[in-house]
Chains A and B, each alone.
Chain A
Amino acid sequence: EAQVTQNPRYLITVTGKKLTVTCSQNMNHEYMSWYRQDPGLGLRQIYYSMNVEVTDKGDVPEGYKVSRKEKRNFPLILESPSPNQTSLYFCASSFYQRGRNIQYFGAGTRLSVL
């Protein structure tokens, strides 16, 4: 089954404790992206990657890191989480072709930083 898998689905942590949210896709997509969703703001892009070892900042990258060492994986790293990073996070992937750019989303990770 074609899917984007995020883990964990729920996470409660404390300020300053490093954490990683994993994302994996099995569709051989070149493009992967992280979004955060906050009430009243819709979804905003954090980081994206157009292929292995190619990453770039989205609209709200502060406080986040990413890596793309393998095509299928795109982890989101919070080196020192803060309460303003409490949010719902989505990973998404698509082919890197304009006619095939439908993005498929993971199930989301709800993060609470205390």
Chain B
Amino acid sequence: AQTVTQSQPEMSVQEAETVTLSCTYDTSENNYYLFWYKQPPSRQMILVIRQEAYKQQNATENRFSVNFQKAAKSFSLKISDSQLGDTAMYFCAFIENGYALNFGKGTSLLVTP
């Protein structure tokens, strides 16, 4: 069963604008870890941001930030001041038990000039 849902298969945003990618997940655990990975055309998997579920403060990494809503099991990624190099597939993932990453199906983001 799919436990990570990314409801937006494709999105586009203009350069310098802000875009939010959605992610919901399902778990019965109280402590877990959430991730956003970026996969550019080179196919490399690059960690964008990480959130620990027991931390209430939303993680930020430069232009990337998350909106973590634990009760709603929601973990959206906001990209501010979008750049052409942000064009990529973005995967939401989490680890509940063990160390296996459960991935969503991805959102393809296109940044246009």
A101 contacts B44, CB within 8 Å?
no
B99 contacts A44, CB within 8 Å?
no
Say yes or no for B84: interface residue by CB 8 A criterion: no
Given contacts A41-B105, A42-B91, A43-B91, contact A105 B100 (CB under 8 A): no
Say yes or no for A81: interface residue by CB 8 A criterion: no
Given contacts A42-B104, A88-B43, contact A101 B91 (CB under 8 A): no
A108 contacts B103, CB within 8 Å?
no
Report the Cα distance A102→B99, complex, angstroms. Answer: 9
- Give residues of chain B (68-113) contacting chain A, Cβ–Cβ below 8 Å: 91, 93, 95, 99-101, 103-106
From B44, B99, B104, A107 is in contact (CB under 8 Å) with B44
Say yes or no for B16: interface residue by CB 8 A criterion: no
From B45, B50, B52, B104, A105 is in contact (CB under 8 Å) with B45
Say yes or no for B47: interface residue by CB 8 A criterion: yes
Report the Cα distance A98→B44, complex, angstroms. Answer: 24
Say yes or no for A5: interface residue by CB 8 A criterion: no
B105 contacts A94, CB within 8 Å?
no
A44 contact set on B, CB distance < 8 A: 103
Say yes or no for A74: interface residue by CB 8 A criterion: no
From A40, A45, A88, B101 is in contact (CB under 8 Å) with A45
B35 contact set on A, CB distance < 8 A: 102
Report the Cα distance A44→B104, complex, angstroms. Answer: 10
> Shortest distance in angstroms between A73's beta carbon and chain B's nearest beta carbon?
18
Instruction: Please name the residue on chain A nearest to B4 by beta carbon.
Output: A42
The 0/1 profile, CB within 8 Å of A marked 1, for residues 28-45 of chain B is 000001010100001111
Some 15 contacts from A to B, beta carbons below 8 A apart, are A31-B99, A33-B99, A35-B103, A42-B4, A42-B104, A43-B45, A48-B100, A50-B99, A59-B100, A94-B99, A101-B33, A102-B35, A102-B50, A105-B44, A108-B45
Q: A40-B105, A42-B106 are in contact. List 16 more A-B contacts (CB 8 A).
A: A31-B99, A33-B101, A35-B101, A42-B103, A43-B91, A43-B93, A44-B103, A45-B100, A92-B101, A94-B99, A96-B99, A99-B52, A104-B47, A107-B44, A108-B44, A108-B45
